[in-house]
Chain A
Amino acid sequence: MELTLTSQSMAVLQDRAATRADDFEAIVRQYRPKIFRFALASLRDADVAETIAQDCFLKAFKAQDRFRHDCSMDTWLMQIAVNLVRDQIRNRRFQFWRRARLSAKPVERLSDWLSNGEKSAEVKTLLKEKVSAVWDAAESLPERQRTVFLLRFVEDMELLEIAAVTGMKEGTVKTHLFRALQAVRERMGASL
């Protein structure tokens, strides 16, 4: 009897584990592009961005029992990604900065990815210069300003969401965002 119960419990546990794995697979499929994009925009290195995305989901999978659902899954995953990107930037600065700089994509080439609207060559060139200036300015921003800038203008997140993801107060986010945008705009103006 005891053996039967044990095998039943084992089967239930196995079913739960399978369901959990299936659920998590769906989460990965849904959020992986976003995490990858944020890491890519922050670090400008597709290989490192891929590693960050994988590490993010690995950490989330290991810690999913501790996820208290006091924020959305999206916010929770972005919190992990922001921390991983920050660690990566610090590691780069102190250990691998030379190699990381070499492998990062040059700013001039990033503006090649413009949307194919029906614009004249002149307008396209102008936009390309502006987008290059934004990339350039974003790169030179301090870490926190860059993070809030990318979350706002690439991921379209609201101030409260950014505050939840970065662990800052809303007012602090607003200040960082203002300074970041001001710096980016100055660079945009100077480029033209």
Chain B
Amino acid sequence: MNSHLSSEDVTLWMLGERTSELQNHVEICGGCQTRLAAETDALLQFRGSVHAWSDAEFSVRRTRDWKAAAQWRVRFRQACLAFAMCLVAFVAVLSRPNQAHLSERTMTDAALLTQVNSELSRDVPSPMEPLTKLVSWDGSQR
């Protein structure tokens, strides 16, 4: 092989298909050595650029994932705390007696007691007196 390596020879060399004839030529030809080194270096740089870009993207994503997970945990805790506080407040409101309702009921009870007392303290009814006249309220209504 007197001339330089052909394009196909270089491709085969870079793919690892190195015949003894190719090897002999590369050993003695400085031009082909330089050419092979430059093209191999370009592919190595390409490989390096892919790895560097991928590593950079990957680390950014991992950090973002970790931060997102941490933020999610904090937000979850806050939401749980808020929910628990709401629940306690709701239960407290429900269990508190209604003061207005209570006082109204006490007054009604007192009025009823007074009324009953007045009915009981009256004189003995006369014979054949209508029963409806024995009470002061309207017995027909419930």
In Å, the complex CA distance between A107 and B62 comes to 25
Q: Does A141 contact B (CB under 8 A)?
A: no
* Number of interchain pairs (Cβ within 8 Å): 83
Given A130-B45, A185-B10, A185-B11, check contact A41 B55 (CB 8 Å): no
> 8 Å CB contacts to A: which residues of B1-23?
7-8, 10-12, 14-15
Which residue of the partner chain, among A32, A36, A115, A174, contacts B52 with CB atoms under 8 Å? A115
CB-based contact B39/A33 at 8 Å: no
Q: What's the least CB distance linking B138 to chain A, in Å?
A: 68
CB-based contact A182/B56 at 8 Å: no
In Å, the complex CA distance between A130 and B49 comes to 12
Residue-wise, chain B 17-54 has the 8 Å CB interface mask toward A (1 for contact) of 00000000000000000000001011101111111111
Q: Does B57 contact A (CB under 8 A)?
A: yes
Q: Does B61 contact A (CB under 8 A)?
A: yes
> 8 Å CB contacts to B: which residues of A150-192?
153-154, 156, 174, 177-178, 181-182, 184-186, 188
In Å, the complex CA distance between A186 and B43 comes to 13
Task: List the B residue with the shortest CB-CB distance to A33.
Answer: B58
Given A50-B61, A181-B11, A181-B14, check contact A113 B56 (CB 8 Å): yes
In Å, the complex CA distance between A153 and B11 comes to 13
What residues on B are CB-neighbors of A32 within 8 Å?
A: 58
In Å, the complex CA distance between A133 and B39 comes to 12
In Å, the complex CA distance between A112 and B45 comes to 11
Q: Does A111 contact B (CB under 8 A)?
A: yes
CB-based contact A130/B42 at 8 Å: yes
Task: List the B residue with the shortest CB-CB distance to A174.
Answer: B15
CB-based contact B50/A37 at 8 Å: yes
Residue-wise, chain A 73-96 has the 8 Å CB interface mask toward B (1 for contact) of 000000000000000000000000
